[in-house]
A and B are shown apart, each in its own frame.
Chain A
Amino acid sequence: MKKTDRKTRKLIVQCATCLVFVAFVFVMTILNLFWPKSDFSENENRALSPGVDASAANIFFGDFDTEFETWFSDHFMLRDRWIEIKSSVRKDLGAIENNGVYLAHDGRLIQQFLSYDEKTVENNISYLQEFSEENDVKLNVMLVPGAAYGEAGYLPIGAANVDERALIRQINGKLSDQNCIDLTEVLGTKEQSWFRTDHHWNEKGALSAYGAICRKVLDKEPQAFNLTKVADDFKGTMYSKSGAFWTKGDPIYRMDPKDPLTVKVTYDNGTESDSMFMDKNLEIKDKYTYYLDGNHAHVHISTSAETGRKAIIIKDSYSHILIPYLASEYSELEIFDLRYYHDQVSTWLTDKENTDVYVIYGIETFAADSNLSILW
């Protein structure tokens, strides 16, 4: 009796296991077959594979197999849920990082900055120097440290990052002919200066930097601004990259000077706007594009500020949230993103007397971007 009992139990285990396996594989296969397909992955910010070229030529001599496999995984059912399972398993197994993002305390997602290429940094320094010498103009250089520096207190034990303070000071030291604005003492001392789920700094960080510019470049006191919350659920790049989809979003603020300012913004694609804020972008995932409509090669702003001064800003996306503050100090701003703007910036330098030239980059982009060579 006992022996048969044992046998039946073994049989049950075997049947159950095989059933679980077969059912999982077949149910998933069939569900996936009929799962609705989408064209765009919001979290990845990229178009998904549109389909596969099934011509004989592609099958026999092309990349049909890899194209098919890409298409298959791009449209796999519940894609984001699987990603979330993976990142939570990693977290549960004691990992402090996923996909280059630290899972920091207080639900903060902080970009890892593990290493950089010294050669690129050297090159970028010399491009700036040469640009300055060639055009006989002093540059106002502002390298913005990342959250890994300013919010280091939130990082899990064992996190390793480039010493951003040392790197920024080393660069500033080599740019001693320029006017360098060191933010390492300004940012992250009192307030939260970075978004929790994005690699950019936030409205408070940018405000502190605006104050620093007023003191170090314009030699005046900063103006007062009203901050209004316009959105509450900004899930930024770190949210997407980390796969930590359980994280809460960030608020987005609009900043208006206490003394009203009218602006006219002209984008490189010809669109004009009477605001530096793009309300419609509050509806999309990347709400940071609320500021100056995200990445553009060239943006022109004219304002009602009667200072008679012009700013030329060579920048990456870190500057987008700073410019609404800075605009109140200039009658005109010409903003260039060298990743997309491939012409001579120097041709815009017509009235040097009344022009301030800024170089505003996140330190991590500055240490990796090779597009500054265009200045040269």
Chain B
Amino acid sequence: MVFSSLTFLFAYFPAVLAVYFVCPPKWRNLVLLIVSLFFYGWGEPVYVLMMIFSIIANWFFGKMVGKYRKDNKEKAKKWLIVCVVFNLLLLGFFKYWDFFAENMNAIGLSFIKPLHLGLPIGISFYTFQAMSYPIDVYRFDTDPQKSVISFGAYVTMFPQLIAGPIVRYKDIAAQLMKRRENLNQFYEGVLRFTVGLSKKVLLANSCGQVFEAVRALPASQSSVIAAWVGIICYTFQIYFDFSGYSDMAIGMGKMFGFDFLENFNYPYVSKSVTEFWRRWHMSLSYWFRDYVYIPLGGNRKGFRRQIINIMIVWLLTGFWHGASWNFVLWGVFYGIVLIIEKLFLLKKLEKMPEWVTHVYTMLIVIIAWVFFAFTDLSQAFRYLGMMFGFASSFVNKEAVFFLRNNLVLMCIAAIACTPIAKSDLNPLRRERFAVLIAPLVLIAFIVCTAFIVDASYNPFLYFRF
């Protein structure tokens, strides 16, 4: 069940809100755990057992690490290693086994068979999240959680369960035990959720349709401009989809009294790729920084080691996004760009006019999205070729149609990528116009509902066809 579905908005979520606020505060973690397990079990009725197992195991590892971390560092470390291996095996088995087996088969080792198990939803997110807890305990960043229910509520919390942000245990440990849901926070949550839903339903889905239509065009109808319109729409789609989801998660978190860390900070206004990655999917970047890059030595062991560390992190980042070579390539591409920037390019960029740095950054990002959009590498290169001139024409009537039909959408999307709404240019920030907020929320909800209902609209032109 995705947030942008009728079932979620007009069945699950109101029920959860009602139960949560009817229950006294001390039961609310239990409520959260139960409704989150239901949410997860809705799509994964079997894997929910594995999730419960993972919760209990990680909670137990945290407890053991906590028990020994003061007096017996060695033993604590052993438990920590067991914990990390356990989590990585879980993730590795479900997410990467088939990929591994298929590649082994490709080089002739056929005794390993792909299993074709379905990937449990959100496993990449929740194993990372669960794993952070014993590590934080080991580092004295937090204390062990006594209640397995509260820990379970942390791991399963449905707003961020399937698409992040990846919440680190230490960041919400205090709120988990004591939080005060209040009007101001609920209000902010409502606004945030509405913005997120609109981003996902109105912008991401519409832009996604444009990209799908462009990529479905036969080669004889391809053109350079159409290819660019398509990939720009994909660029919008992936940002609004992901950040919209994060907004909805953060919004619902606020309604329940939690403050999750931000996950996106207007990445498309960056002036370098380095900056882009400080603004894009920040919770993942923090995770890799805190749990991989810094433990590997970060930049403290000399320049050569730093380069190697960066490459390791980016290889893993790419691989985390999906068990497929295009994602590995995508990660490696970013690793190389970031190293080049670190070596000399950043200093040069600083001296250049601002627009050049923006164009440069977006160019790199858009090219990288091509490898993200196509799991088939040959298709990715063909599309890239179309963008850079290997199309049947530069501009054709199809390109004009896509531009004309989606001009307003693309303009709105472009504006929504910038922090204009956070500036004084946004009239809603003036007290005078604050009365408009409630009606706008209502309108946004009505329009989003219309778009969601429309997505299930499926006219059959010919009966019996």
Q: Are A97 and B6 in touch, CB under 8 angstroms?
A: no
Q: Are A160 and B398 in touch, CB under 8 angstroms?
A: yes
Q: Are B437 and A85 in touch, CB under 8 angstroms?
A: no
Q: Are B398 and A114 in touch, CB under 8 angstroms?
A: yes
| CB closest chain-B residue, reference A242 | B459
Having A18-B186, A286-B463, one finds 4 other A-B pairs with CB under 8 Å, namely A17-B187, A17-B191, A29-B14, A237-B459
Q: Are B218 and A115 in touch, CB under 8 angstroms?
A: yes
Contact with B along A334-365 (1 / 0, CB 8 A): 00000110000000000000000000000000
Interface residues of B in 41-61 (CB under 8 A from A): 42-43, 45-46
Residue B106 interfacial (CB < 8 Å)? no
Contacts of A45 in B (CB 8 A): 459-461, 463
Interface positions of A (Cβ within 8 A of B): 6, 9-11, 13-22, 24-26, 28-29, 32, 43-46, 59-61, 64-65, 68-70, 72-74, 76, 79, 82-83, 85-87, 89, 93-97, 99, 114-115, 117-118, 156-160, 199, 237, 240-241, 243, 286, 294-295, 317, 339-340
CB distance from A319 to the nearest CB of B (A): 14
Q: Are A65 and B409 in touch, CB under 8 angstroms?
A: no
Q: Are B183 and A29 in touch, CB under 8 angstroms?
A: no
Q: Are A24 and B442 in touch, CB under 8 angstroms?
A: yes
Q: Are B460 and A26 in touch, CB under 8 angstroms?
A: no
Residue B431 interfacial (CB < 8 Å)? yes
Q: Name, among A29, A89, A160, the residue most crowded by chain B CB atoms within 10 Å (CB to CB).
A: A160
Contact A82/B450 with A18-B186, A20-B438, A44-B458 known, Cβ cut-off 8 Å = yes
Q: Name, among A68, A76, A339, the residue most crowded by chain B CB atoms within 10 Å (CB to CB).
A: A76
Residue B10 interfacial (CB < 8 Å)? yes
CB distance from B397 to the nearest CB of A (A): 4
Interface residues of B in 441-465 (CB under 8 A from A): 441-442, 445-447, 449-454, 456-465
Partner of A13, one of B412, B435, B458, B459: B435
Q: Are A21 and B400 in touch, CB under 8 angstroms?
A: no
Contacts of B408 in A (CB 8 A): 93-95
- A32 vs B9: C-alpha distance when bound (angstroms): 12
Contacts of B218 in A (CB 8 A): 115, 117-118
CB distance from A103 to the nearest CB of B (A): 10
Secondary structure of the B side of the interface?
helix
Q: Are A20 and B406 in touch, CB under 8 angstroms?
A: no
Q: Are B187 and A14 in touch, CB under 8 angstroms?
A: yes
Total CB contacts across the A-B interface at under 8 A: 178
CB distance from B50 to the nearest CB of A (A): 14
Residue B7 interfacial (CB < 8 Å)? yes
Residue B404 interfacial (CB < 8 Å)? yes
Contacts of B461 in A (CB 8 A): 45, 199, 237, 241
Considering the complex of A and B, which 6 residue pairs feature the smallest CB-CB distances, nearest first?
A158-B404, A160-B401, A82-B453, A85-B450, A86-B454, A73-B456
- A11 vs B183: C-alpha distance when bound (angstroms): 9
Q: Are B454 and A243 in touch, CB under 8 angstroms?
A: yes
Interface residues of B in 331-358 (CB under 8 A from A): none
Contacts of B101 in A (CB 8 A): none
Contact A29/B11 with A18-B187, A20-B442, A241-B461 known, Cβ cut-off 8 Å = yes
Contacts of B451 in A (CB 8 A): 86, 89
CB distance from B199 to the nearest CB of A (A): 15
- A317 vs B462: C-alpha distance when bound (angstroms): 9
Q: Are A21 and B441 in touch, CB under 8 angstroms?
A: yes
- A117 vs B217: C-alpha distance when bound (angstroms): 10
- A99 vs B241: C-alpha distance when bound (angstroms): 21
Residue B277 interfacial (CB < 8 Å)? no
Residue B81 interfacial (CB < 8 Å)? no
CB distance from B461 to the nearest CB of A (A): 5
Contacts of B421 in A (CB 8 A): none
Interface residues of B in 199-243 (CB under 8 A from A): 213, 216-218, 220-221
CB distance from B363 to the nearest CB of A (A): 27
- A240 vs B465: C-alpha distance when bound (angstroms): 17
7 contacts between A and B (CB under 8 A): A13-B187, A69-B5, A73-B452, A86-B450, A99-B459, A156-B404, A160-B400
Q: Are A13 and B434 in touch, CB under 8 angstroms?
A: yes
Q: Are B10 and A32 in touch, CB under 8 angstroms?
A: yes
Q: Are A70 and B407 in touch, CB under 8 angstroms?
A: no
Contacts of B407 in A (CB 8 A): 94
- A83 vs B187: C-alpha distance when bound (angstroms): 29
Interface residues of B in 35-93 (CB under 8 A from A): 42-43, 45-46
